[in-house]
Structure 1
Amino acid sequence: MSRRKQLLLALSSTLVIYLVWFQQGNLVLLIGVLFALPVVISQAFIICVGFIIFSYFRIHEAFPILIPLHIPQLLALASLAGLGWQLWLKRETITWQTLHTQIVIFTIWVLISCLMATNRGEAFANFNGNFIKIFIMVFAISWLPSKLSQLKMIPALLLLSGLCIGGLALYNKANGIGLVEGTRVTIGRDIGSVLGDPNDLALVLLFPVSFALSYSFHGNKMQRGLTAIILLVLIISILATQSRGGLLGISCGIFALTLLKSRSVIIPMVFSSIGLLALIVLAGISDRSSGGAAEEGVDESAMGRIYAWQAAINMAIANPFTGVGLDNFFYNYYFYSPHWDGKNHAVHSTWMQIIAETGFAGLVLFLLMLIGALKVSYQLLKRLNNHEMKPLAEGLWLGLLSFCVSGTFLTQGTTWPLYILIGLVLALDRLTLSLENKHARHN
C-alpha cells in the first residue's frame, strides 16, 4: 500500500470514529481500543508503567485538567489487555519465584480478612478498587519486561514524576495554596485528592528519593547534575510537608547510601544523624500547630499516634487471625481506642495498619514477604556490583530500607511503593540471571 493510500485510510478512519462519537458518545472508546490494540500488545510494559505512575503519583489529581480524559481508567484497560495477551504469548517462558508465592499467600490472607471484616463493604471496595490492581501489577512488572533496557527507563520516569509533584508542592507552598495547619503543604486538597494529606504527599515524594540518591553517583556529569537537582527538589518538597515519616525515610536513605560508599559504620551514623537534625530544623516541625514546640510534654501529634497504635493493638487482640478487615481501621477506631476526642483517626503506621486490619497472622505473612524482598534485593546488590544495572539495584535496596523505616510513621502496607519495588526486584533478578545463564552456556 502506498503512503498516500495509508494517509487516506488513516484520515478516513479518524473521520469515521469522530462521526460515531458525535452520534453515539462513549462507543468511540471501544473502536479506539480496537485500533490501538497492536500498540497495546507491542508496548504492554510501557502502558503498564504509565498506569502505575498515574495511579501512584495521582498525576491527574495534581493537574485537574487531565481528569476529564480518564487516563488511569484507559491505561488500566490497556494494561490488562496487553498483560493478558503477552502472558499468553510468553506462557512457556514465565518463571515463578519464591517471592511470588509469598505475595500470593499474603493477598489471599488479605482477601480472607475482607470476608471476615466488620465492614465488608469498605473492605471489598478497597480490595477491588485498589489492592487487586497493585497485586496484578506486581506480576506485570516482574513478567512483562524482556530486556534490561526496559527497566532502565523506570527510574527516569519515577524521577520525572517526582519532579512534577515536588515542583507543584513547592509552588503551593510559596503561594499558600491548600496549606494544612497553616504551614504543611498539600496538593489537590480542594478536590479530595490523596495528595491532600501532607503525610500521604510525603509518602508519594519519598518513593523516588531512593533512586535519586543512587543515580546521583552514576552516569556522566550532566546526568548526575540533573539527578542531584531533582533530589534537592524532592527533599525540599518533603520538608514542606513537615512529615516525620518523610524525614525518617530521607535520613535512612542517606545513612544506607553512605554505608554503601564507606567501609566505616561510624561515619554514616554521624552523617545521617546530623542530616536528620538539619532536616528537622529546616522542615520547621517545631512550628506545626500539632506536634510543635508550643505543646508541652508529649505533643498532640505524638499522642494521637500513640492512641491510634493502642487501638490497632486492641483490634488485633480482639481479632488475632484476620483483624478488623482491609481499610477498616478508621471505622473501628471508636470501639478500640482508649481515648476518644470526637472523631476517628488514621493509624499512621504500616506495621500497626497490617496488624489491625489483617491480624497477627497477617503481620507474620507480611513480614515474610518483606524479608523475602530484602533478601533478593541484597543478593542483587552483591551480584551486580560491577554491572550496568548497579544503580537500579542500589535504588531498590535503598527504597526497601527507606520503606521499613518510614513505615513507622506512614501508612503504606497496602499501597503502591513496596509492591512496585518487589515487582522491580523480581524483574531485575529474572533478567540478570537469564543473561548470566546464557553467557555460562556459551562459555
Structure 2
Amino acid sequence: MRDIVITLIVFGSLPFVFKRPFYGAVLWIWISVMNPHTQSWGWAQSMPFAAIIAGTTVLAMLARPKDVKFPNTALTWILVAFTGWMCLTTLFAIGPENPLPLLNKVVKIMLMTLVVAMLVRTRRDIEMVVWAIVVSLGFYGVKGGLFTIRSAGAYRVWGPTGTFIEGNNEIALALIMVVPLMLFLGGLITGKWGKRAMWAAAGLCVLAALGSYSRGAAVALAAMLGFLWLKSQEKLKLGALMVVLAPLALVFMPEQWHSRIDTINTYEQDSSAMGRINAWKMAINLANDHPLFGGGYQIYNKFIFQLYAPNPDDIHAAHSIYFQVLGEHGYVGLALFLLLYLVVWRNGTWVIRHAGELPELEWTIRLVRMLQVSLIGFMVGGAFLSLAYFDVPYYIMVIMVATRLLVQKTLKEQVAQAPAALEKEAESVA
C-alpha cells in the first residue's frame, strides 16, 4: 500500500511541474530529504523517483524559461566554484578506490540545489520550501520523539536506511536543524491548534535528537538553543521555558543516556572519540602533503591511513564536515566551503539590517534569524559528523539568497515609487 501511495503522489504531481517548474523543486526536496520510498516495503524502494522528478523539472524549465532566473549572487557563484573544485580534485584523487560514484552523487545534489535556487522567487515559494524541509524531517522527528517517549529513552533513534541521515548521529543533527524552521512556521499559523501542533512537533524533534544518544547532537542542541535565545524577541519567556523544560527532558532520559553523554568529559578513554581524532589528524597530514587538491573522495581506507594517520590501524570516516572537506579537497576546497557559510551568514545579517525599514518585510527578519539558528546547529554539530554534502544546509542557503533578493527587490520598488508619490502629493497641495 505504501508503494502505491508514494508512486501516485510522485506521478500525480508531475503534470503540475509542467504547469509551474517550481513545484518540481518542492517535490525534489521532499523526495531527496525525506526519502519516503525508504519507508515502503516493496518495489517503490528501487524506483528512480529522484531521477524522474529531476528530469521532469529540467524539461519544465526548458518549456517555461520565463519561470527560471539564475540568482546572480556571490553565494551562488561560490557554490558553483566549490562544485567545480570538487570535480577537479577528483582528477587528482590518490586513493585506490573509484571516486566517481561519490562525485556523481555530490554533483547531482549541487546541481539540483542550483535548480531550486533558479525557481524560488516569491514569499510563497520561500515558505513552501521551508514547509517541504519541515514536513520531510519533521516526519522522522515526530516519529522518533514518540518512540523515545514510549521506550522511556531506552533505545536509540535511527534515521531512514540508505540516506544521509541513516545513522543516529546524522538524524539527530538533521532534527536539531529543523526545529528553528518549525518555530518560524509556527509564527505564521493563525489557528491556535495549528500553533500548538507545530510547537509539539518541535518538542518531539528535540526529544528524538536526545533519544539518538548522539554526543555531538547534544553539543549542537545546546549551542542552537543558546543562539535561539539570543535571537529571540521574547528572551524572558523563552528563557523561562528552557529553564523549566530542559531539566525535565534530562531527568526523563535513562541512566545509560547520561553515561553516554558524560563520556564527552573523558573522551581520551573513548575509542570512538579517539578514532575521530585519528581521522582528523590523518586529514591534516594528507592536506599538508597535498595542499591544493587534497586526496579526493574515498580516502578513508587502509592505504591512505597507513600513509597519513598516527594510528594506521584505526580507520574511521572523517566525522567532521571541516576535516572531511580538508582531506578530500585540500585547503582551497576548505576555504570555498567556509566561504559559503560566511557569505550566507552575511546575507542574513544584511536582511536583518535592511528589512526593518518596511513593516511588510518583518517576516523576513524572523525567517533569517531562524535560518541562522539552524546553521549554528549544523556548523557546531557538523564538527563531529561527515555531512559536508548533506543537502538541507544547501537548501537553507537557497532560502537565504531568495529572501535577500526579495528584500532587495521590495526596497527598490519602494524607492522607485517614492518620487511618484511625492509628485502626486505636491500636485494635490497646489
- Same fold by TM-score, threshold 0.5 exceeded? yes
Which consecutive residues of structure 1, in runs of 5 or more, have no partner in the other structure? 1-31
Secondary structure in structure 2 of the residue aligned to 1:407: helix
Write the distance in 2 (CA, Å) between the matches of 1:158 and 1:299: 35
Write the distance in 1 (CA, Å) between the matches of 2:391 and 2:349: 21
Question: What pairs up with 1:31-430 in 2 under 5 angstroms?
Answer: 39-65=16-42, 66-86=44-64, 88-89=65-66, 94-119=70-95, 122-128=98-104, 130-170=105-145, 183-189=155-161, 192-217=162-187, 219-220=189-190, 221-261=192-232, 287=257, 298-330=269-301, 332-341=304-313, 344-385=315-356, 386=359, 387=361, 388-430=363-405
Q: Deviations over 1:298-352 (max 9, x none)?
A: 32232222112112212212211111113434563454222245x6311111111
Write the distance in 2 (CA, Å) between the matches of 1:280 and 1:304: 28
Q: Deviations over 1:71-95 (max 9, x none)?
A: 2232122222233444x3356x644
Check conservation: 1:285, 1:291, Cα contact below 8 A. no
1:52 maps to a residue whose letter is: I
Write the distance in 1 (CA, Å) between the matches of 2:298 and 2:33: 18
Q: Deviations over 1:351-405 (max 9, x none)?
A: 1111111111211121122111110012123333442333322222212222221
1:185 maps to a residue whose letter is: V
Write the distance in 1 (CA, Å) between the matches of 2:164 and 2:113: 22
- 1:13 corresponds in structure 2 to none
Secondary structure in structure 1 of the residue aligned to 2:99: helix
Which consecutive residues of structure 2, in runs of 5 or more, have no partner in the other structure? 1-9, 419-430
Write the distance in 2 (CA, Å) between the matches of 1:394 and 1:183: 34
- 2:426 corresponds in structure 1 to none
Secondary structure in structure 2 of the residue aligned to 1:389: helix
2:166 maps to a residue whose letter is: G
- Which stretch of the first structure deviates more once superposed, 58-67 or 403-412? 58-67
- Which stretch of the first structure deviates more once superposed, 219-228 or 344-353? 219-228
In the superposition, relative to structure 1, how do residues 353 and 36 fare at CA in structure 2: closer, same or farther (>3 Å)? closer
Check conservation: 2:179, 2:202, Cα contact below 8 A. yes
Instruction: Number of aligned residue pairs: give it.
Output: 401
Check conservation: 1:242, 1:285, Cα contact below 8 A. no
2:61 maps to a residue whose letter is: L
Q: Deviations over 1:225-246 (max 9, x none)?
A: 1221110111111111111222
In the superposition, relative to structure 1, how do residues 157 and 300 fare at CA in structure 2: closer, same or farther (>3 Å)? same
Secondary structure in structure 2 of the residue aligned to 1:75: helix
Write the distance in 2 (CA, Å) between the matches of 1:118 and 1:64: 39
Write the distance in 1 (CA, Å) between the matches of 2:255 and 2:111: 38
Check conservation: 2:215, 2:260, Cα contact below 8 A. no
How does the TM-score come out when normalised to structure 2?
0.80
Write the distance in 2 (CA, Å) between the matches of 1:306 and 1:285: 27
Write the distance in 2 (CA, Å) between the matches of 1:280 and 1:327: 39
Query: Pairwise CA RMSD of aligned residues?
Result: 3.6
In the superposition, relative to structure 1, how do residues 311 and 272 fare at CA in structure 2: closer, same or farther (>3 Å)? farther
How does the TM-score come out when normalised to structure 1?
0.78
1:208 maps to a residue whose letter is: V
In the superposition, relative to structure 1, how do residues 272 and 118 fare at CA in structure 2: closer, same or farther (>3 Å)? farther
In the superposition, relative to structure 1, how do residues 234 and 258 fare at CA in structure 2: closer, same or farther (>3 Å)? same
1:434 to 404, 409, 421: 409
2:372 maps to a residue whose letter is: W
2:218 maps to a residue whose letter is: L
Check conservation: 1:83, 1:140, Cα contact below 8 A. no
- Which stretch of the first structure deviates more once superposed, 356-365 or 395-404? 395-404
In the superposition, relative to structure 1, how do residues 288 and 255 fare at CA in structure 2: closer, same or farther (>3 Å)? closer
Share of identical aligned residues, percent?
21
- Which stretch of the first structure deviates more once superposed, 95-104 or 205-214? 205-214
2:58 maps to a residue whose letter is: L
Write the distance in 1 (CA, Å) between the matches of 2:35 and 2:14: 25
